[in-house]
Amino acid sequence: MTVEKRPLSGAVALVAGGTRGGGRGIAVQLGAAGATVYVTGRSSGAASSDIGRPETIEDTAEKVTAAGGTGIPVRTDHSRPDEVRALVDRIAREQDGRLDVLVNSVWGGDPLTDWEHPLWEQDLGTGLRLLRQAVETHVITSRFALPLMVARRRGLVVEVTDGNTARYRGSFFYDLAKSAVIRLAFAQAAELKPHGVAAVAITPGFLRSEAVLDHFGVTEDNWRDAIAKDPHFAYSETPAYVGRAVAALAADPGVMAKTGRALATWGLYKEYGFTDVDGTQPDFAAHWAEALVDEYGPLGDPL
């Protein structure tokens, strides 16, 4: 990407939960657009999180820099207000009070999700822990980061979720967490609009995250081998796709027109024209309407 094609040169972003998956994809693509990106999470070279996966914030930061931006890893537990306050204080100090993009992508709830049982048969402590990890962390991060944006009367908050409609997502606590994150975007948008700051929720389609690739026993190089196990995998997308969607939003001078909305890669590619890394434009909603609606019902109305 040439300098002329780096619309976020000089911009500062914080990607909370940027270790892997969609968060990593967003961080790297913000870097490719020229931004300085603070990459945070609990998985670092110094100490791993309880997820126990090999990806680290340092890995992501290196990819941000390699893409053309500046990656800065800061190990942060976003459930701890003191650590988040210290993180934001550091950004303010190092960037002269500037923060243009806040991405709330903290998740880590896969090991906590019970897909087999209804609410009344689930472990309550595990479910509440999932909510604290997937929702409270976003609230804490916004609480300390938003004043930087409000002070400059500009910026974009992105809440990363799963799905952009009211369709039930298959597990009580998982559904509650992902729906709540959309509502966080809506509520922040209402309070931030008078200050010129936008807030949106965004969802990828069938995401080929590192964990999903591992689940299918493939890599990004041979991911199509897994289509035999799941034909719907043919319509999946890389984390870069949602990353390019967020970068396009961040570079859009008219993004305030979208504030308060729940957006999706399958809608934004039509408007901004970005592609996935292989040049395709996956549209999981279109695939759903063609192949999955009879089994699972329509995606439903936007929240």
Residue where the block lists tokens 């997820």:
51
**What's the pLDDT at 294?**
87
**What's the pLDDT at 4?**
52
**What's the pLDDT at 173?**
98
What are the residues whose beta carbons fall under 8 Å from the beta carbon of 114, sequence distance 6 or more?
A: 122, 123, 126, 127, 171, 173
* pLDDT mean values, one per 10 residues, the chain (303 residues): 75 97 98 98 82 90 98 98 98 98 96 97 98 98 98 98 93 97 98 98 96 95 96 97 98 98 97 97 95 85 70
- Domains of the chain: residue spans and CATH: 3-296 (3.40.50.720)
**What's the pLDDT at 300?**
74
The predicted model scores a pTM of: 0.96
Closest CA to 49 of 91, 92, 114, 112: 112
**What's the pLDDT at 43?**
86
Q: Is 174 a catalytic residue?
A: yes
Catalytic residue among 38, 168, 174, 241: 174
d(CA 95, CA 296): 47
Q: Cβ(130)–Cβ(137) under 8 Å? A: no
Closest CA to 28 of 281, 246, 264, 207: 246
